[in-house]
Structure 1
């Protein structure tokens, strides 16, 4: 069994393994970031200098540390976030979901270590995930959506682009990452479908277009071809013709939300809005789970939670009127 005395070597070895398994670039980056931060903590705080020295108590110490430190307050040497202190969420508490992602990545890494016979037993095997705090997802109202869309300057290339992306997300319930990976060839206007290829599970997913959304997309493509100065590989390129990044669109959407006087506007909330409105209109939870590409229907069930506004509305509508 080789002696493990170099964190960087083992992380690089694991990264090569992930690449050979054809995992997505996004997933590999997530693993790499998690393990780099974990290694920094082990070495700096616990004087643990190799992964074979890691014990369950070290991982539990790290989880406690994650619960206490704020977002973006620690970064690896090759971090790609510029001026993190300027972010709106800088220093805010890490959510249980985020910490669970760290735990999952660490567990998978140590499973790899066991499979490769670097260690006999995973120190993460008995580490428990944190209990998630499920939030009731609030849909964006039709009036609020109109206010947000009004903030995009559709006479500019980037403004028109972000306007259409916003409409497409709320119309299809798609994830922002798979949406920004679309090309013109992924749109089948004749049959009113859209093929998402860069999905979370790496399997192609079919989305459906309303007549209105098809019209909007055709108009966007014509506008882009007329005013873009670059060949367009992507359906929603940057002004330079490169692939638009999730963070760039997210920043634009948040800015539009703030200008409209609406807080907490982000791409996933558009997806949640699609889901909630689909159910409100009588859609099946099972169909919605397929449309959202959830691996488990339990993930979709959160959209059944009602806001206080919805509860009062249903109370008034269905009250049995039995008071005396």
Structure 2
């Protein structure tokens, strides 16, 4: 089947992205969102020529997505018979502004690349701006809540104790769950209490650091693991395979419900960052630990501490109080 001009350029764009060694997740995001946009241009406006795409088409696409809702548009109609999107609880629910901004960002990357390739005389994304979003405050987990959560894991079973140690390590290091579950035993440096993280979001290796408490727990876990597993993976399944993110998320949610917490691994990463800052840590070091692309990303992500937390931190660092002026 012959590709349209837009489809041809999309395939070329994806090949260019692959040559830059972008992550599979990023490539998948580009492909999925851009194929849906190209399909919209074809079905709603009869457009297949890249030079005919205007800024108005992009703005109308945003409105179209907002109006249609989640999972109502698919790249291939046959996929509906396999995935059954109409059975999802959030079918036709409003697409969040964060998701729409991701679509807009991907469209802009695509058309900016076309301009760099010399395929466009006038770039339609020049006047396109992202939608303003209201930042939702990240909910923190208290020390008491975290202790209650840990107490719900069944330490006598391999998977229960493994999941407890994973949860502790997320809170102690701020790693992403994908990074944590991909760790091997040799990545741990007990002498300097640090871990080399290799399978990162940006594909840049970095070190994260752990406490003395975590060191003791990791050593105990390794002895426990060796009774059940022969793999070099730090957190394997009983079948010596890598524990999937979905499986861990499901098990974490189950124990969370037992103490009234609706918890997700990324929430623990956020909690690490929150308490790191409240304990006097700086944004630059935190950015390095979290593996963010810049300090600005870290500042934008974690400036939403509650008023009570800010007030408490102020009392600890008030210049006048430290001068002890009476």
Aligned match of 2:289 in 284, 287, 291?
291
Change (3 A) 1:56 1:184: same
Superposition pairs for residues 229-240 of structure 1, below 5 Å? 232=231, 234-240=233-239
Change (3 A) 1:276 1:11: same
User: Residues of 1 paired with 2:206 and 2:223: CA distance?
Assistant: 25
Higher mean alpha-carbon deviation, 177-186 vs 304-313, is at: 304-313
Give the equivalent residue in structure 1 for 2:19: 20
Superposition pairs for residues 35-54 of structure 1, below 5 Å? 35-54=34-53
8 Å contact 1:4–1:51 — kept in the other structure? no
Superposition pairs for residues 1-324 of structure 1, below 5 Å? 5=4, 7-77=6-76, 91-228=92-229, 232=231, 234-263=233-262, 265-301=263-299, 302-307=301-306, 309-310=308-309
Q: CA RMSD in A?
A: 3.2
User: Residues of 1 paired with 2:53 and 2:304: CA distance?
Assistant: 41
Q: TM-score scaled to structure 2, two decimals?
A: 0.82
Structure 1 unmatched ranges of 5 or more: 319-324
8 Å contact 2:5–2:48 — kept in the other structure? yes
User: Residues of 2 paired with 1:256 and 1:64: CA distance?
Assistant: 40
CA distances 1:205-232 after superposition (whole Å, capped 9, x unpaired)? 111111121222222233233213xx53
Q: TM-score scaled to structure 1, two decimals?
A: 0.82
Q: How many residue pairs get matched? A: 313
8 Å contact 1:253–1:266 — kept in the other structure? yes
8 Å contact 2:72–2:91 — kept in the other structure? yes
Q: CA deviation at 1:82?
A: 5.3
8 Å contact 1:276–1:304 — kept in the other structure? no
Q: CA deviation at 1:75?
A: 4.0
CA distances 1:85-143 after superposition (whole Å, capped 9, x unpaired)? 67675554333332222111111112222233333333223211122322222211112
User: Residues of 2 paired with 1:143 and 1:85: CA distance?
Assistant: 40
8 Å contact 1:4–1:52 — kept in the other structure? no
User: Residues of 1 paired with 2:159 and 2:44: CA distance?
Assistant: 45
